[in-house]
């Protein structure tokens, strides 16, 4: 006779054991928040708003921002889940800095989202799927990572300097502006 079953465990067929998924009761605080991000990814996908990505921003124990990928429904290539959640959190908190906030995202952030996250300055980022998982379903960011390491002359999209002298004048004005909001 096989091992004695314990609560929540039973054999489906001889040797094949079923262990139920953790319920919310057994989940950590972080796992509960991650589940919310995953739920957003599912809802957005089911509603044909964009790819299967969801994100929440948490401050303390409160969700202050929510987002799911809306690239195809909004015709906005920047409407990734993380960017959408950051915009929502910043609007709700009336700030452009997410200091003391946590980011929970259903997938490791792409280079664009990672940049937005660093500009927002949260204290931590949790992710579920990794970049290889995303690549496996058609969301491969490896070319962008490669482009970031390539010199300007080697990039696939030409990036050419133009008008620097005039643009520097504005930068110099910014540098001496007394009433600027630094970030």
Both tokens of residue 151?
């010199």
**Does 82 qualify as catalytic in the annotation?**
yes
Please answer whether residues 56 and 37 qualify as being in contact, where contact means their C-beta atoms are separated by less than 8 angstroms.
Answer: yes
Instruction: Considering the candidates 30, 31, 36, 82, report the single residue annotated as catalytic.
Output: 82
Other C-beta atoms closer than 10 Å to the C-beta of 147 total: 15
Packing angle between helix 81-93 and helix 29-46, nearest 10 degrees?
120
Show which residues are catalytic. 82
């Amino acid at each position: 006779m096989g091992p004695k079953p314990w609560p929540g465990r039973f054999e489906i067929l001889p040797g094949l054991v079923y262990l139920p998924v953790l319920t919310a009761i057994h989940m950590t605080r972080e796992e509960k928040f991650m589940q919310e991000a995953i739920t957003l990814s599912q809802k957005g996908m089911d509603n044909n708003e964009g790819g299967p990505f969801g994100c929440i921003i948490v401050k303390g124990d409160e969700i202050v921002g929510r987002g799911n990928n809306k690239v195809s429904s909004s015709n906005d290539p920047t409407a990734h889940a993380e960017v959408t959640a950051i915009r929502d959190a910043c609007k709700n908190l009336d700030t452009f800095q997410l200091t003391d906030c946590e980011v929970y995202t259903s997938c490791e952030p792409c280079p664009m989202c990672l940049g937005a996250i660093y500009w927002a300055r949260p204290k931590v980022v949790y992710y579920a799927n990794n970049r290889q998982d995303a690549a496996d379903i058609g969301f491969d960011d490896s070319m962008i990572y490669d482009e970031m390491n390539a010199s300007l002359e080697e990039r696939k999209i030409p990036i050419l300097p133009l008008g620097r002298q005039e643009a520097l004048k504005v930068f110099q004005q910014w540098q001496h502006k007394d009433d600027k909001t630094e970030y």
